[in-house]
Amino acid sequence: MAILKIARMGHPVLATPALVVPDLKSPEIRRLVNDMVETMIDANGAGLAAPQVHVPLRVVVFQAPDGRTDPGLADEEKFDHTAPLTVLINPEIEILDPAPEGGWEGCLSVPGLRGWVERPAHIRYRGLGIEGETIERVARGFHARVVQHECDHLDGRLYTSRMGDLSRLIFESEIRHFQVAS
């Protein structure tokens, strides 16, 4: 396995829609997935899309660890916001409730910055796992945010293009000033 170079904002690979993976069983796809997982973990990311490592294919890896969930949810809003380490090939997202939920997002391709992004808080996603098995889950909260963020990369979008207020694009070192205001 290898740590891959991560493309940064401005690189054309991040602005180009990714191609469907035609053959999940190829050794190149398995190697790509293994390298993406290693790269994501090394960079302390919650997710990584193949275009971020200069490969224009519809592949994402992600995890939504419990430590990154919102502890302030009311009982009626509680939902499993976590997701195990997941490989999703040729993913699709279905919005189950378009009501937006705002949250701070960062991106390995936009290092050092965070932005306030509103996204649908309740989705269903489906795709294929590395063995060709169907993966279908319902997600809310951070889990839903991570999936949508990574799938945006497959469509040539960065989170900054989803921001409604660019005054909320800040350096990570300054986020402490926004914790109470958000």
Give the residues across from 131 on adjacent strands.
none
At residue 89's C-alpha, the angle toward residues 17 and 122, to 5°, is 85
Mean pLDDT to the nearest integer, 18-47: 95
Phi and psi at 151, nearest 5°, equal: -70, -30
Residue 100: enclosing H or E segment and its boundaries? strand 83-107
The total of other beta-carbon atoms located within 10 Å of residue 93's CB is 17
Q: What is the pLDDT of residues 58-76, one digit of tens each?
A: 999 999 765 544 444 444 3
Per-residue pLDDT at 116 exceeds 50: yes
Give yes or no: 150 in active site: yes
With tokens 């398995």, the residue in question is 30
Which CATH architecture best describes the domain 12-177?
Answer: Alpha-Beta Complex (3.90)
Q: Where are the domains of the chain?
A: 12-177
pTM value? Answer: 0.88
- Name the active-site residue from 77, 133, 136, 150: 150
Closest CA to 135 of 80, 98, 92: 92
Measured distance CA(136)–CA(126) in Å, rounded: 4
* H helix count then E strand count, the chain: 2, 6
Structure tokens at 52: 């971020």
Q: What is the pLDDT of residues 67-104, one digit of tens each?
A: 544 444 444 333 455 678 999 999 999 999 999 999 99
The total of other beta-carbon atoms located within 10 Å of residue 124's CB is 15
Average pLDDT score over the chain: 90
Q: Residue 2 contacts by C-beta under 8 Å, 6 or more apart in sequence?
A: 35, 38, 39
Per-residue pLDDT at 25 exceeds 50: yes
